[in-house]
Structures are given as C-alpha cells and as structure tokens.
Amino acid sequence: DTEVTQTPKHLVMGMTNKKSLKCEQHMGHRAMYWYKQKAKKPPELMFVYSYEKLSINESVPSRFSPECPNSSLLNLHLHALQPEDSALYLCASSQGGHGTDTQYFGPGTRLTVL
Amino acid sequence: DQQVKQNSPSLSVQEGRISILNCDYTNSMFDYFLWYKKYPAEGPTFLISISSIKDKNEDGRFTVFLNKSAKHLSLHIVPSQPGDSAVYFCAASGWNAGNMLTFGGGTRLMVKP
C-alpha cells in the first residue's frame, strides 16, 4: 500500500481566512513533504519533516505554517493568503528521508484564493 | 539553473508503438532517478526508479535507461496505450541532497488510438 491521503480535495478561501490542509499516511514513513504545483510546472518543494522535525524550509512565506503532530500526520496551516498562492498543494511521504528514498504523493488539494 | 531538464514539452505517439521520454541532468552528485506520471489535478504517481549503480531497470511495459557518462536517462513505454496519456516528470536526488527531489519540467505524452 502506497497511499497518501489529503483533505480537502478542493478549498476556496478569502484572503482573510484561516484554513488548514491535512495529509495522512499509514506506510510507516518517517519523512513527509509539502509541495506547491502551479499549472504546467513541476512541483516545488515547500517543507520537509524528517522524524517529525522540520528539516527543510524552502524560504516559504510565513503565511504558510506546517505542523507534524505525529509520524502519520502532516498539516499545512494557511492564513492571509494571496491570490497568487492559488495552486495544487501536494503532500508526499518517504521511508526515511534519505536521498535515495522514493517519495509517494497524495492526490493534492486544489486551493483557490479569492 | 535547471539541474534536471526535459527538453521535449510534448510527445505524440500512436497506440501500440514505443514512447521514449528523455531527461538530462547536470549535477554529477545525483545518484537516484525517478519517473512520475501525472494526470491533471491529481498528484504525481510513482512509476519507476533507477539507482546510479545500474544502467537499466524494467517494470512491465516501462523501462528506464541511465547513461551516467552522458548524464542522460530515458523512459521507454512499450507498447504505448491511450491510458498512458499524461504528463511525465523525471526527478533526481542523491545522498548529499538530503530529502530533496529535483524535478524536470515535464513532458506531455499523448497516445493516439
């Protein structure tokens, strides 16, 4: 089983709203990732959690706040977003967070910021 | 500076024929390469990977070839099926890259019935 689940599937929010994206995996993976993908572009890495600790933050604006409550769950808290933040947000996980681990992606959350 | 490049933005192939998708990289520290398939509005699906100690890896209709001296890899799909129509991303990582995947820009494959 290589399933990563994400909720919600779609999200529309105003610029003053606070919302959260959720990601879950039950593969026993110890590394989890958030990516942002714009149309016709490859995924861009935002954050990496390795063994529940934030290991990589790719200079993402503070209006995006990640949280890893446990090894199976990953959240992305959103606040005061801009319309240009509209994108597909992808969660991924891998076994140990090593450079030769395969990352498995969830279906994504399509976010629209009005 | 793009470290992983897919120079063909699109490829059209007849059903039953071979599809060959290409990828070039510049960072000689990459030692693990992956191909993902992506449908619109969905997450990328892992297809096949190859370690730098190998030059070929096969899984059913999918074969990945790695030419380290040329810093080039390719994905062969044979026979191609209409359901293979999607965007294909190659990605690279390595022991010194930590948890980071570097993606190419993608190639849109269209398989015509």
| DSSP string covering A35-59 | EEE-TTS--EEEEEEETTEEEEE-S
Mean pLDDT of A15-40: 93
Select from A31, A100, A104 the Cβ nearest to the Cβ of B51.
Answer: A100
Which residue numbers in chain B have pLDDT < 50?
Answer: none
Select from A42, A92, A99 the Cβ nearest to the Cβ of B32.
Answer: A99
Indicate yes or no: CB of A43 within 8 angstroms of CB of B34.
no
Residue A56 has pLDDT above 90, yes or no: no
A111 touches chain B (CB under 8 A): no
CA–CA min distance B34, chain A (Å):
8
CA–CA min distance A95, chain B (Å):
10
CA–CA min distance A102, chain B (Å):
8
Q: What percent of chain A has pLDDT over 90?
A: 75
Sign of CA dihedral B90, B91, B92, B95: negative
Residue A88 to residue A75: CA distance in whole angstroms: 15
Residue A96 has pLDDT above 90, yes or no: no
